[in-house]
Amino acid sequence: DIARLIELQKPAQEVRLEGAPVDFDETPTVATEASTALGEALRGCRGSLRRLKLVSHRFEDADAVTNVLQAMAGSTVLEELDLTNSNLKVEGGLALAAVLRGFTALRVLRLEDCEVEDEGCAAIAEALGESASLEELDLRNNDMEADAAQVLARALLGMKALRALKLDDIDEGLDPIIEALTSMGKEDVLKTDDDDEDDDEDEDE
């Protein structure tokens, strides 16, 4: 099984697990019981793991998400965490926020389309407030609103190394973020869905 494979790869520097395509019943790719074994395997290589990519996974419930994320709590070497298109939901966003503060080496955090919503985005943003090493943050397609944008704007002031910030265009809600980035001389790091569409149009021409 997956947990056994990770055990055999110790000390692992990268773990990449992609979920199966969605079926009619939306069968979970990470069941609660399996998440316990997966969490234990990840905990065993926490001291060496630099890149963790769990892309397009469907966790059975909040406990399954928590079991996996808490396994990495306290990691001082993790540099990249990619959970793109995995259904963390609000509870998973809060669980992630609880462990993010200890990720002192984190450079890349990708959370596009993780269903964490405004509450989860706010908690994650607040937890990243002292992430001086963070270079890339992707929070697109999570229904972030103005409240979370305000929290993120304050947190950005501690992200001295930030090079790319990917967000949905929420109209005036982005104003505090733009102001914060401008004060840091980093107004060019913000990328929205509108920017992506403009790039696609340029390529078509």
User: What pLDDT is recorded for position 169?
Assistant: 93
Where are the domains positioned within the chain? 2-198
Taking alpha carbons only, the member of 28, 25, 85, 92 closest to residue 60 is 28
Give the contacts of 19 (CB within 8 A, at least 6 positions apart). 29, 30, 54, 55, 56, 57, 58, 85, 86
User: What pLDDT is recorded for position 1?
Assistant: 56
The values of phi and psi at residue 40, to 5°, are -65, -40
Give dist(CA 91, CA 61) in Å, integer: 9
The values of phi and psi at residue 15, to 5°, are -125, 120
Angstrom CA distances, 74 to 22, 44, 59, 136, stand at: 32, 12, 22, 20
User: What pLDDT is recorded for position 139?
Assistant: 98
User: What pLDDT is recorded for position 27?
Assistant: 86
User: What pLDDT is recorded for position 8?
Assistant: 45
Matching CATH number, 2-198, of 3.40.50.300, 1.10.1040.10, 3.80.10.10, 1.10.10.10: 3.80.10.10
User: What pLDDT is recorded for position 205?
Assistant: 53
User: What pLDDT is recorded for position 196?
Assistant: 53
Residues of the chain with confidence (pLDDT) below 70: 1-11, 22-24, 194-205
